[in-house]
Structure 1
Amino acid sequence: MMKRRKAPSTRRAEIQYLYQCYTSGQATLSGSSLLKFLKKEQMELRATEETVECLIDRYEIEETAKDSGSMTFEGFLRYMESRDCCVFNQAHTSVYQDMDQPLTNYFISSSHNTYLTGDQLVGKSHLDAYVCALRKGCRCLEIDCWDGPDMEPVVYHGYTLTTKILFRDVISTVKKHAFEVSAYPVILSLENHCCKEQQEVMAQYLISILGDKLLSTPLDHPTPGDLPGPNKKKVVVAQSLSDLVIYTGSVKFISFSHAKDNQNCYENTSMAEKKARKLTKASGPDFVQHNQRFISRIYPAASRTSSSNYNPQEFWNMGSQIVALNFQSLGLPMDLNDGRFQDNGGCGYVLKPAVLRSSQKSFNPSCSQHGLKPTHLLLKVISGSNMPVPRSGKPLDPFVRVEIHGIASDSCRKNTHTVRNNSLTPFWETDMNFNISVPELCLIRFCVRDQTGLLSSEFVGQYTLPFTSLKKGYRWVPLRCRDGCSLDPASLFVFVCFLDVGAGSRDAVPG
């Protein structure tokens, strides 16, 4: 890592500094020097001469430099601002995890009251809400079904003033968009309040509209007594429309011991956040073991009438697979959900860490001692670029908050100092050190805020990703706005270094 330096006038100057450190006074960066940079600074230990040739071919446009196997500063700048230098491991933008394990071994991107575009008292129900959720990789959709006029079941938040949409239109929308973004199963969580006659209508719509996309018979898979893996492009119904419920029938949760003795692998439990939180505090290891055998669904408390969200991390720590959030409500919980599920190609299924899957060793997320050697993470927040200016036109007074979200003992946050009146090229050069005991569960959130008062600040942009998707070295962080959309060209420039996760119960972290 380079030594501390004075604030440059532009981000270009920061990249120029790195470039000059490896050119050794020459006009261009030789292939051998670029390879040295890749290995020493970017910690790309598998880089070879062939890697260098590919980068020069991809980012260098000056023919003379290309012919000599070297890179001009302009080519180096293009490389440093490319996807190859993103803080998010680009290998994780495709499905790379084992997708043949039982469904219980995955976190599943899940939505609550999916039909709503606003609050759950007077908000609108709209088909677009299902489209938006599916396009974000959501794989578990909620459909609250009620008797409607003319034997047409409707979907809305019962006993409220939310608007109503037809059940058959919801199913048609699901059919059209279910597999646009992800090829993996969609689970329909039906909250059924319909009479027997309209339930039959619902069943007929599911069969006639979804056709062969509906999972209607059990799958052949090699481990009887376990759920199959998420490797079939099917829609799965989770409720009690008799024969259509194959793998995710809902049963009442009584206790962990009762579930162990009486619950079938294809039955799941659904509970509100307050009950789940109480179980987490009282019986964390039992909750983890329960989620190794069965699917549990957690949903927001009924008191959240504004459709606010809880922090999903506390239930992912327990291994709960279906941690349902109000996708229409923006903020930290949805940032964490987006960060968690951009992993594994954004397919909506992320393999749980080994520590949550292993039945050989008890794991208590509430305990700070796990017998695991902590991973040391160094983050240097160097600078920012092209921060969005508020409507007032006044330059920002930006600072960066880096948050670690994981088990309680790992969760923390640290701030840089505030840079005054600089939206274009704020420079922080701030070192942050973290010791993390269970990095496989952690999410890293970079949040840029505008210092508006002595103790007040406002959101500017953020980016969240799993610790296991962090790339080492000098990297840029692409900032996103509140709704998760890109704020390009707004970004941060950081340096990342950490010790690789050890062997044993942990999965290896790519460097």
Structure 2
Amino acid sequence: MKKSKAPSSRRAEIQQLYQCYASGKTTLPACALLRFLHKEQMELTANEETAESLIDRYEIEETARENRCMTFEGFLRYMESKDCCVFDQAHTSVYQDMDQPLTSYFISSSHNTYLMGDQLVGKSHLDAYVCALRKGCRCLEIDCWDGPDMEPVVYHGYTLTTKILFKDVITTVEQHAFEVSAYPVILSLENHCSQEQQEVMAQYLISILGDKLLKTPLDHPTTGDLPSPNKKKVVVAEALSDLVVYTTSVKFITFSHSKDNQNYYENTSMAEKKARKLVKASGPDFVQHNQKFLTRIYPAGSRTSSSNYNPQEFWNVGSQLVALNFQSLGLPMDLNDGRFRDNGGCGYVLKPAVLMSSQRSFDPGCSQHNVKPTHLLLKVISGSNLPVPRSGKALDPFVRVEIHGIASDSRRKNTHTVKNNSLSPHWDSHMNFNISVPELCLIRFCVRDQTGLLSSDFVGQYMLPFSSLKKGYRWVPLRSRDGCSLDPASLFVFVWYS
């Protein structure tokens, strides 16, 4: 007996779709493929040429290609390709307007960037800066202290974390700053150095970063506004008075005090607890404040294990620099990865219009937004090649779909659990969500292994902004706890929203 290929969970569903459009023929002609693209995938700009280019790209059978047709194998190859990913491939490169002032963007930001572990005895390491920059981080934190032999050092003050040299950190930044993004890097220098060692720091910044360091204001016509990220290839220092051009830190007093006294080039930095109080007490004022000024939020000092808060609550009021411990894995970093997967992963994402309007005030704490809610229908169809735990025991998987947005939009729903199937679990589960502010939402697909009545383990996840969600039959590429691809593990879903 001939051994059949391992069943691909998507095969049966895709076979059904294929047959539906092939209408009994053995191959799928270009015009039928085009009908599929229009009707199911909502690729409304697709034309005959689009269909033929997909045939050229995914069909390997010569005769079918010459006849401008697709065999099932070619159709399957197409359905499992980037062209059918749930994430809009147009968003894998920079597509947003990059000429707005810096205050108009969410900016990927890291806290205690030098740490590889916790904040008490963790290791400080140059690799931590490399990792953050490779993840598209654009705001790095450097805690500077007086070191021996007039060499400033970087570590978490008053703790047992190891020390690294300031000059080595700056050299690392210089080498890796623009590897994955051409847009500005902000150095948040927490400066505890004496006057003498501050001068050493300034010299290192100038000599190591050279032309990449922004030393004087950029000429730009809109006075009273921060420059745009398009003034690329610069590193902006946040401390050391002579080198600070656009991001001097000032103490936050009240929103009205900022309105009357704060300069556009001054920013405020606040711990999560204070920021959370302000979000609750005066959300709309916070939104307006963030239209004019940069705000940096950082994790509470009590988070000694370097855990993270949920960044979504601060994005909801338009805070730009929502700083997280990049070395700590879990939901907050998944949210950050999802938010900044958009716009080519360049670390700058334009804030949605609702946060930027000077006409109407926006309150993230209010559930009524005088707009017709968006209705999202998700059908979680099946999974494929889910990673098996070390024990080798097959999973009992279920999928949890989470919506992260303003409080009234945030919810989650689970499929049922499929017993003992890692290779090709089938759920066919329908989920409906009503979303009032979709432009702030992130969607998370999380596969979990049911280990007990109320317990389950993480298997894989994928997070993306609602605005990057493609309609139609799509596959979801799963990622591991640390954000790495688990290819070929994936989900097959159907997406619709109106």
What is residue 196 of structure 1 aligned with on the other side?
195
1:427-486: per-residue Cα shift (whole Å, max 9, x none)?
000000000000000000000000000000000000000000000000000000000000
1:9 Cα deviation after fit = 7.7
Range moving further from structure 2, 226-235 or 327-336: 226-235
Tell me how far apart the structure 2 counterparts of residues 190 and 307 of structure 1 sit (CA, whole Å).
19
What is residue 221 of structure 2 aligned with on the other side?
222
Secondary structure of the 1:287 match is helix
1:375-416: per-residue Cα shift (whole Å, max 9, x none)?
000000000000000111111000000000000000000000
Tell me how far apart the structure 2 counterparts of residues 496 and 13 of structure 1 sit (CA, whole Å).
18
Give the partner amino acid of 1:43. M
What is residue 364 of structure 1 aligned with on the other side?
363
1:213-262: per-residue Cα shift (whole Å, max 9, x none)?
00011111121101110012334434331210000110000000000000
User: Does the 8 Å contact 2:152/2:166 carry over to 1?
Assistant: yes
Kindly report which structure 2 residues correspond to 1:24-423, keeping only aligned pairs within 5 A, or say none.
24-423=23-422
* TM-score, with structure 1 as normaliser: 0.95
Range moving further from structure 2, 323-332 or 37-46: 37-46
Secondary structure of the 1:100 match is coil
Instruction: Say how many residue pairs are matched.
Output: 492
What is residue 3 of structure 2 aligned with on the other side?
none
Tell me how far apart the structure 1 counterparts of residues 221 and 424 of structure 2 sit (CA, whole Å).
56
Give the partner amino acid of 1:348. G
1:192-212: per-residue Cα shift (whole Å, max 9, x none)?
000000000000000000000
What is residue 453 of structure 2 aligned with on the other side?
454
1:126-150: per-residue Cα shift (whole Å, max 9, x none)?
0000000000000000000000000
User: Does the 8 Å contact 1:380/1:495 carry over to 2?
Assistant: yes
Secondary structure of the 1:409 match is helix
Instruction: Quickly say closer, same or farther: Cα 1:230–1:189, change in 2 above 3 A.
Output: same
Secondary structure of the 1:463 match is strand
Secondary structure of the 1:453 match is coil
Secondary structure of the 1:291 match is helix
Give the partner amino acid of 2:371. L
Give the partner amino acid of 1:127. L
Tell me how far apart the structure 2 counterparts of residues 179 and 17 of structure 1 sit (CA, whole Å).
46
Secondary structure of the 1:222 match is coil
1:339-392: per-residue Cα shift (whole Å, max 9, x none)?
000100000000000000111110000000111111000000000000000111
User: Does the 8 Å contact 2:339/2:442 carry over to 1?
Assistant: yes
Tell me how far apart the structure 2 counterparts of residues 172 and 257 of structure 1 sit (CA, whole Å).
41
1:22-59: per-residue Cα shift (whole Å, max 9, x none)?
11110100111101111111111111001011100111
Give the partner amino acid of 2:430. D
Tell me how far apart the structure 2 counterparts of residues 420 and 150 of structure 1 sit (CA, whole Å).
64
Tell me how far apart the structure 1 counterparts of residues 8 and 117 of structure 2 sit (CA, whole Å).
44
Instruction: Quickly say closer, same or farther: Cα 1:9–1:88, change in 2 above 3 A.
Output: closer
What is residue 433 of structure 1 aligned with on the other side?
432
Give the partner amino acid of 1:223. T
Tell me how far apart the structure 1 counterparts of residues 107 and 237 of structure 2 sit (CA, whole Å).
14
User: Does the 8 Å contact 1:215/1:234 carry over to 2?
Assistant: no
Give the partner amino acid of 1:317. N
Give the partner amino acid of 1:477. V
Give the partner amino acid of 1:121. L
Give the partner amino acid of 1:170. V
Tell me how far apart the structure 1 counterparts of residues 437 and 152 of structure 2 sit (CA, whole Å).
46
1:77-123: per-residue Cα shift (whole Å, max 9, x none)?
11000000000000000000000000000000000000000000000
Secondary structure of the 2:216 match is coil
* TM-score, with structure 2 as normaliser: 0.98
User: Does the 8 Å contact 2:403/2:444 carry over to 1?
Assistant: yes
What is residue 3 of structure 1 aligned with on the other side?
none
Tell me how far apart the structure 1 counterparts of residues 178 and 64 of structure 2 sit (CA, whole Å).
45
1:326 Cα deviation after fit = 0.1
Instruction: Quickly say closer, same or farther: Cα 1:203–1:9, change in 2 above 3 A.
Output: closer
2:446 is the counterpart of 1:476: no
What is residue 4 of structure 2 aligned with on the other side?
none
Tell me how far apart the structure 2 counterparts of residues 248 and 236 of structure 1 sit (CA, whole Å).
11
Secondary structure of the 2:408 match is coil
Secondary structure of the 1:368 match is coil
Secondary structure of the 2:108 match is strand
User: Does the 8 Å contact 2:184/2:229 carry over to 1?
Assistant: yes
Tell me how far apart the structure 2 counterparts of residues 89 and 441 of structure 1 sit (CA, whole Å).
17
Tell me how far apart the structure 1 counterparts of residues 246 and 497 of structure 2 sit (CA, whole Å).
41
Secondary structure of the 2:407 match is coil
What is residue 504 of structure 1 aligned with on the other side?
none
1:10 Cα deviation after fit = 3.6
Tell me how far apart the structure 2 counterparts of residues 336 and 387 of structure 1 sit (CA, whole Å).
22
Instruction: Quickly say closer, same or farther: Cα 1:404–1:497, change in 2 above 3 A.
Output: same
User: Does the 8 Å contact 1:213/1:233 carry over to 2?
Assistant: no
Tell me how far apart the structure 2 counterparts of residues 368 and 76 of structure 1 sit (CA, whole Å).
43
